[in-house]
Amino acid sequence: MSYQPPVPIVMLERRKPLDLLFPLKGGAANHNGSHNSNRMTALDRMRAAVILTKDAVKAVSLTAMEALREGASMIGILGEQDELVDPFSHLEAPIWPREPPAELMRLAYNYCEQLTMREAGNFYHSFKYLPDDQRQAMCAVYAFCRRADDIADGDWQDKFPGSRGEMDPEAVDYRTQLENLQQKDTILQEDRYLQKITQLFFFRKKLSTCYNEVCSTDPVFLALKDTVNRYNIPRQVFDDLITGMEDDLYNNRYRNFDELYLYCYRVASVVGLMCIEIYGYEDPRAKHFAESWGIFMQLTNVLRDIGEDIERNRVYLPLDELEKNGIKESELGESVVLNTAWEPYVHNYAKRARTYLEEAKQLLPLLPRRSRYSPAAMIAFYGKILRKIERQQGDVFTKRVKLNKMQKLSLAATVYLRHRFLPAFLDPVWTGLSRIGLLPDV
């Protein structure tokens, strides 16, 4: 057998935060939050026109307020088998006939918190110590993101009473315009595609209730409306996230890092931009670092979930970088760990992700001390996951890389100690000791 020289590892290019061409196709706004309608694309305008009003739905049913007559305190969100139950599932109307009372708002927030605890242990551990109003707001934001992802990537059937499903004229018109502007075919089977794009359309319509005079009977959007009003979160970031979910219906390969970066921005950076409005900040650089925070977390997700994504016929790693490093797409499975280029590729991928990690950490001093624990914990969790992937030499195929419960609890406690109680003048001391391994790098 002849000697084969090792494939030289091509260093991966790093995309700078906010190095985006605005306006982004699909609706992402520029980083200072301004949005010039003269620069909006046709796709932007079409998505912005999706709105749910009283005139656009069936007449509001009086049953929407029967819950009050029965006693709202008797409505639960847990069923007999401890499953999560929509407390308003029996209502026949998509909107409330008038502003719902505080008791129903409490039920909506409780629903979002239960959903978060069940679906996102890492995230819930990162904001369970926030003040009550901020914790509830974070749960409302997470519930919105979770449900959008469940529609695009799972089997969640979103409830929208009064619609005519996939043949609803508004849904058909939106889908036709979207397909014409995307100029791409779906990657899904036709029936599954129609189901998901219609669900996302109605999901976008329900989002509009958070920014007009009506209130949705969906507990997620009822809580989200209160959250966006309380913290003044712009609609653009929520619309961008739905756009990212729509993109998943048309794309399952990314040719280069620019394409991946845009996807990461839409599905993760915008979440960071939502969160900092809840945390509170004054320095506008917080938006810059919030974008980096989302990029770091999504890049880590992409690396961790390669095996699962391959099973769903999705490759998020940039194809040009794989090719330059002598890694074939067909190898992306357990066999890829035998490729001598794989471990160095993973090392360089992690190195690039950490450049965003370091910028994400610069967000923390810009936030109030009582809320900076939350992003610090999420950053710490994902930083540890990235290190575990490297220690396993890039083997993310034989078992899922995750933190156990004790690791989460101990890491959360350490983060809370540092970012909630440690005096600011001792921060450099902690940072220095963490660099030489005497303290955790959190």
At 296-345, the pLDDT tens digits run 999 999 999 999 999 999 999 999 999 999 999 998 988 888 889 999 99
Judge if 137 and 229 occupy the same domain. Answer: yes
Q: Which residues of the chain have pLDDT under 50?
A: 16-38, 55-75
Residues 268 and 210 grouped into a single domain: no
Domain count, the chain: 2
Structure confidence at residue 352 (pLDDT): 94
3-state SS, residue 405: helix
Domain assignment of residue 206, yes or no: yes
Last residue of a domain, one of 205, 233, 261: 233
Q: Are residues 197 and 332 in the same domain?
A: no
Q: Could you tell me the CATH number of the domain that includes residue 428?
A: 1.10.600.10
Domain boundary among 199, 233, 267: 233
- Pair (173, 307) in one structural domain: no
- Tokens in use for 257? 């890092």
Residue 6, in any domain of the structure: no
Sign of the CA dihedral with 125 first, then 244, 199, and 52 last:
positive
Say whether both 290 and 438 belong to one domain: yes
pLDDT at 78: 61
Q: 103 - beta bridge partners?
A: none
Residue 241 lies in a domain: no
Whole-model pTM: value is 0.83
What is the distance between the alpha carbons of residues 414 and 399, in angstroms, rounded to a whole number? Answer: 27
Q: How far apart are CA 28 and CA 10, in angstroms?
A: 31
Structure confidence at residue 76 (pLDDT) = 57
User: DSSP letters along 263-328, please?
Assistant: HHIIIIIHHHHHHHHHH---STHHHHHHHHHHHHHHHHHHHHTHHHHHHTT-B-S-HHHHHHTT--
**Is position 143 within any domain?**
yes
Would you state the pLDDT for residue 313?
92
CA quadruple 62, 68, 214, 153: dihedral, nearest 10: -100
**279 and 392 belong to one structural domain:** yes
Which residue range is the domain that position 348 belongs to? 252-442
Query: What is the predicted pLDDT for the residue at 77?
Result: 62
Is residue 239 one of the residues assigned to a domain? no
CB 115 within 8 A of CB 84: yes
- Residues 200 and 148: beta-carbon distance below 8 Å: yes
Q: Could you tell me if 315 and 388 lie in one domain?
A: yes
Closest CA to 156 of 203, 88, 112: 203
Q: Are residues 259 and 391 in the same domain?
A: yes
Last residue of a domain, one of 233, 267, 302: 233
- What span, in angstroms and rounded, lies between the C-alpha atoms of 44 and 37? 9
- Together in a domain, 226 and 256: no
- Return the SS3 of 233: coil
* Secondary-structure breakdown of the chain: helix, strand, coil percentages, each rounded to the nearest 5: 60, 0, 35
310 and 401 assigned to the same domain: yes
Whether residue 365 sits in one domain with residue 297: yes
309 part of a folded domain: yes
Cα 193 from Cα 195, distance rounded (Å): 5
Q: Is the peptide bond before 423 cis (omega within 30 degrees of 0)?
A: no
Q: Would 26 be classed as within a structural domain?
A: no
**208 and 308 co-located in one domain:** no
Residue 243 lies in a domain: no
